A = this chain, B = another copy of it.
Amino acid sequence: MAGGDAELMTTPIRPTDDEARLLARRLLHDARHGALGVIDPASGAPMVSRVAVGHDGRDPLILISSLSRHWHGIVAHPSCSLMVGDPGPKGDPLTFPRLTLQAQAEPEEKAAWREIWLASHPKTALYFDFADFSLYRLRVSSAFLNGGFGRAYELTRDDLEFRAPA
């Protein structure tokens, strides 16, 4: 096997182009929920759970309860991961695109983002104001886009074009 082929086999990452950047931004923008990965402080093992995801053009927001396991996880270890992008109802789920963010979770002022959050998540008005619910902002360091079988891209924070913090 030629050296070039061997390299291809061990490095399936494609060069990031505008199509990949656009797909990643669309997947994130459209996401209303995601799979959050945190370190379980009790065991040190990874733990995945579903969270609500919101957007204001900056790094994404999540709404979580302090009665939940993932809340204890990100308080102990703010490094976390969020996957967004649902597969369609038919076909191989692995052929649908998804985006994984690597991020640091930072507490956000809930009252300041109430209107923005409820605009995209009106049904969470039932519990948004509960004392145990908090908004966290996921400060993204990098992202991994799987655009479908064999279409993988490593993205930088800049590729996602977040607005600057207020």
Residues of A at under 8 Å CB distance from B?
Answer: 9-10, 12, 32-33, 35-40, 43-52, 67, 69, 79-83, 86-87, 91-95, 98, 100, 102, 121, 123-124, 126-127, 132, 144, 146, 149
Contact = CB atoms under 8 A, between A and B. Distances in A.
Contact of A48 (B35, B43, B44): B35
A94 B39 contact: no
In the complex this chain forms, how many copies of it are found?
Answer: 2
A10 B67 contact: yes
A79 B47 CA distance: 10
A150 to B, nearest CB: 9
Contact of A47 (B50, B100, B127, B149): B100
B49 A100 contact: yes
A50 B92 contact: no
